[in-house]
């Protein structure tokens, strides 16, 4: 962008904000903006026009109205833990950081509802609700840091989403400020909201429709008892078969996670969780609820796992051991970070029956691209998180990592899956939307955005590719009208 144009836009914005915003809440020096140039997907970096941290809705309205009047784009950021580049700044746009909206307004234990501002940490909600014997169920791996506003933007899940659902199943209502400064509320605390049910449309919209200021979440009782099975398998296919068999038996575990041998070795070296290093794959299969129900489910799942070929079963003997087993799975990302300067975490979703096929395909891709990949799965719903290890200082490795990730997504689509389960589209997968959705479907998405954000200033360069962008992507990936999906193993 032209430097003179950028300087003029910044000067105009600062003048407009001066009566409404403390100068300490605005960052415009390049060196001070560096910590905000990327979210957790550090492959993409961009300095914004400036960084603004409003403290209340009055300041937020002043910012959005000023940007509307000056035709300046806005990218909203929570804690910056997103893995798809959804909060990466756009050139010439303001980066709106919601971290000062950090108040827990109310915890209503009698009705199982918490009202919190968008910048409140996911884990802080459960900490505040613990006195009532309640907690907030969605538990992404970054829950100690990620914000509830960011969870709403990405429709975040977690290791217990199989039983308790994603963000969309646990948020009752949101208060949103539109680009015009108008405030709307979507959803409600009654069983059925009046009017159009737009809450599910908004959740997962990645900051493209409005800015969340307040969220009402559902709280659930803490289970009286929980146990987890740590099961070892000689092959990834036998572990995948076990996942399918557990679900086919009508059991809904509280959590059902899968790790391959590479991720198990990385985690064990990092945390010493007691994982079996001889196994080709591990499953974590949990039951929670009343003690007698848990005992029955653990027995039933253990039998299914043995019949599928499990070579070793460890059932947690106490709460400390249960948390230790889960800590290993939740430490997969920091464990990967110890093995290479950078990692690229993917987020495809595939049918459960295809877990073995995708892992075999990824193993072949490791050889093709010369990069190691650690694999962890929300196996119960087929949401995979391959972590490609690379050196971000080596342009060739960066390029190979990007192509590796793209091929995993193409394989996911070929297997009847999707390009994202919970991390969002952002910058990372925007081109692959051209594979997943038709022109008509993307047109409908643009129509929804136009209804909420007529000037198109909110996170404008993300999530929905234009026809031109799809054409560019197609020239790179489409040959003779067909996508070059990788050859996938048959079983």
Tens digit of pLDDT at every position of the chain (491 positions) = 557 667 899 999 999 999 999 999 999 999 999 999 999 999 899 999 999 999 999 999 999 999 999 999 999 999 999 999 999 999 999 999 999 999 999 999 999 999 999 999 999 999 999 999 999 999 998 999 999 999 999 999 988 999 999 999 999 999 999 999 999 999 999 887 778 899 999 999 999 999 999 999 999 999 999 999 999 999 999 999 999 999 999 999 999 999 999 999 999 999 999 999 999 999 999 999 999 999 999 999 999 999 999 999 999 999 999 999 999 998 998 899 899 999 999 999 999 889 889 999 999 999 999 999 999 999 998 999 999 999 999 999 999 999 999 999 999 999 999 999 899 999 999 999 998 999 999 999 999 999 999 999 999 988 788 877 888 777 655 443 344 445 555 43
What domain count does the chain have? 4
- Specify whether 63 is located in the same domain as 109: no
- Specify whether 231 is located in the same domain as 349: no
Asked if 136 contacts 125 with a C-beta cutoff of 8 angstroms, the reply is yes
Residue 27: DSSP 8-state: E
> Distance between CA atoms of 383 and 346, rounded to whole angstroms?
10
- Specify whether 45 is located in the same domain as 129: no
- Specify whether 304 is located in the same domain as 271: yes
Q: What is the pLDDT of residue 473?
A: 78
- Specify whether 148 is located in the same domain as 268: no
Residue 489 within any structural domain of the chain: no
- Sign, CA dihedral 308-312-317-318, equals negative
Q: What is the pLDDT of residue 1?
A: 56
CA 122 vs CA 21, 81, 118, 162, 164: distances in Å: 27, 12, 10, 18, 15
Residue 485 within any structural domain of the chain: no
> Distance between CA atoms of 174 and 117, rounded to whole angstroms?
10
Residue 484 within any structural domain of the chain: no
Residue 369 within any structural domain of the chain: yes
Residue 147 within any structural domain of the chain: yes
Among 81, 97, 113, where does a domain finish?
Answer: 97
SS3 278: coil
Which CATH number goes with the domain that contains 431? 3.30.70.2740
* Helix 355-369 vs helix 395-414: crossing angle, to nearest 10: 160
> Distance between CA atoms of 97 and 103, rounded to whole angstroms?
15
> Distance between CA atoms of 446 and 463, rounded to whole angstroms?
10
Asked if 255 contacts 282 with a C-beta cutoff of 8 angstroms, the reply is no
Which CATH number goes with the domain that contains 42? 3.30.43.10
Q: What is the pLDDT of residue 476?
A: 58
Asked if 213 contacts 177 with a C-beta cutoff of 8 angstroms, the reply is yes
SS3 385: strand
Asked if 249 contacts 300 with a C-beta cutoff of 8 angstroms, the reply is yes
Residue whose pair of structure tokens reads 């803490």 in the numeric block:
222
SS3 173: strand
Q: What is the pLDDT of residue 485?
A: 47
Residue 395 within any structural domain of the chain: yes
Q: Which residues contact 372 (CB under 8 A, 6 or more apart)?
A: 262, 339, 340, 366, 388, 389
Among 312, 334, 356, where does a domain finish?
Answer: 334
> Distance between CA atoms of 240 and 359, rounded to whole angstroms?
10
Q: What is the pLDDT of residue 475?
A: 62
Residue 351, φ and ψ in degrees, nearest 5? -60, 140
SS3 37: coil
Residue 397 within any structural domain of the chain: yes
Which CATH number goes with the domain that contains 236? 3.30.70.3450
Quick one: which H or E segment has residue 364? helix 355-369
- Specify whether 324 is located in the same domain as 378: no
Across 278-356, where does the E strand assignment appear? 281-289, 312-315, 342-345
- Specify whether 348 is located in the same domain as 231: no
Q: What is the pLDDT of residue 484?
A: 47
- Rg (C-alpha) for the chain, rounded Å, is 23
Which CATH number goes with the domain that contains 165? 3.30.465.10
Sheet holding 113-117, edge to edge: 104-108, 113-117, 211-218, 171-177, 183-187
Longest CA–CA span in the chain (Å) reads: 70
> Distance between CA atoms of 332 and 258, rounded to whole angstroms?
11
> Distance between CA atoms of 316 and 100, rounded to whole angstroms?
40
- Specify whether 194 is located in the same domain as 83: no
- Specify whether 178 is located in the same domain as 58: no
> Distance between CA atoms of 161 and 157, rounded to whole angstroms?
5
Structural domain range at position 69 = 3-97
- Specify whether 130 is located in the same domain as 169: yes
CA 368 vs CA 226, 340, 346, 371, 484: distances in Å: 42, 19, 17, 8, 15
What does the block give as tokens for 60? 């937020």
Q: What is the pLDDT of residue 478?
A: 46
Among 36, 65, 97, where does a domain finish?
Answer: 97
- Specify whether 200 is located in the same domain as 236: no
- Specify whether 207 is located in the same domain as 282: no
> Distance between CA atoms of 122 and 77, rounded to whole angstroms?
15
Identify the bridge partners of residue 351 per DSSP, sorted by sequence position.
none
Residue 487 within any structural domain of the chain: no
């Amino acid at each position: 962008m032209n430097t003179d144009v950028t300087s003029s836009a910044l000067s105009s914005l600062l003048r407009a904000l001066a009566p409404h915003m403390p100068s300490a809440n605005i960052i415009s020096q390049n060196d001070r903006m560096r910590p905000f140039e990327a979210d957790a997907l550090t492959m993409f970096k961009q300095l914004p026009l400036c960084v603004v941290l409003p403290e209340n809705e009055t300041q937020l309205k002043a910012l959005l109205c000023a940007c509307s009047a000056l035709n300046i784009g806005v990218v909203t950021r929570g804690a910056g833990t997103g893995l798809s580049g959804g909060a990466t700044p756009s050139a010439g746009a303001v980066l709106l950081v919601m971290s000062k909206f950090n108040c827990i307004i109310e915890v209503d234990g009698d009705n199982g509802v918490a009202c919190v501002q968008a910048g409140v940490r996911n884990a802080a909600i459960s900490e505040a609700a613990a006195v009532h014997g309640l907690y907030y169920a969605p538990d992404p791996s970054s829950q100690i840091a990620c914000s509830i506003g960011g969870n709403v933007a990405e429709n975040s899940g977690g290791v217990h989403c199989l039983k308790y659902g994603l963000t969309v199943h646990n948020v009752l209502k949101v208060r949103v400020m539109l680009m015009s400064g108008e405030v709307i509320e979507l959803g409600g605390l009654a069983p059925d909201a009046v009017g159009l049910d737009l809450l599910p449309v908004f959740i997962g919209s990645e900051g493209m429709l409005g800015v969340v200021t307040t969220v009402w979440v559902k709280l659930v009782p803490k289970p009286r008892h929980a146990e987890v099975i740590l099961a070892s398998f000689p092959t990834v296919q036998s572990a995948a078969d076990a996942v399918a068999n557990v679900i086919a038996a009508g059991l809904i575990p509280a959590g059902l996670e899968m790790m391959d041998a590479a991720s198990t070795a990385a985690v064990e070296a990092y945390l010493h969780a007691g994982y079996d290093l001889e196994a080709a794959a591990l499953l974590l299969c949990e039951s929670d609820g009343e003690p007698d129900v848990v005992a029955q489910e653990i027995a039933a799942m253990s039998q299914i796992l043995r019949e599928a070929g499990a070579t070793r079963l460890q059932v947690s003997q106490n709460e400390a051991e249960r948390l230790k087993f889960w800590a290993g799975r939740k430490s997969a990302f920091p464990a990967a970070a110890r093995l290479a300067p950078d990692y690229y975490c993917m987020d495809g979703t595939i049918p459960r029956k295809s877990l073995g096929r995708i892992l075999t395909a990824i193993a072949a891709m490791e050889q093709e691209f010369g990069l190691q990949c650690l694999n962890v799965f929300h196996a119960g719903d087929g949401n995979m998180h391959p972590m490609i290890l690379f050196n971000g200082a080596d342009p060739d490795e960066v390029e190979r990592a990007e192509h590796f990730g793209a091929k995993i997504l193409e394989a996911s689509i070929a297997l009847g899956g999707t390009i994202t389960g919970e991390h969002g589209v952002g910058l990372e997968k925007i081109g692959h939307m051209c594979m997943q959705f038709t022109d008509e479907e993307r047109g409908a998405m643009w129509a929804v955005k136009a209804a909420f954000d007529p000037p198109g200033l909110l996170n404008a360069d993300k999530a929905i590719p234009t026809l031109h962008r799809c054409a560019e992507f197609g020239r790179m990936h489409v040959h003779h009208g067909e996508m070059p999906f990788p050859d996938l193993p048959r079983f």
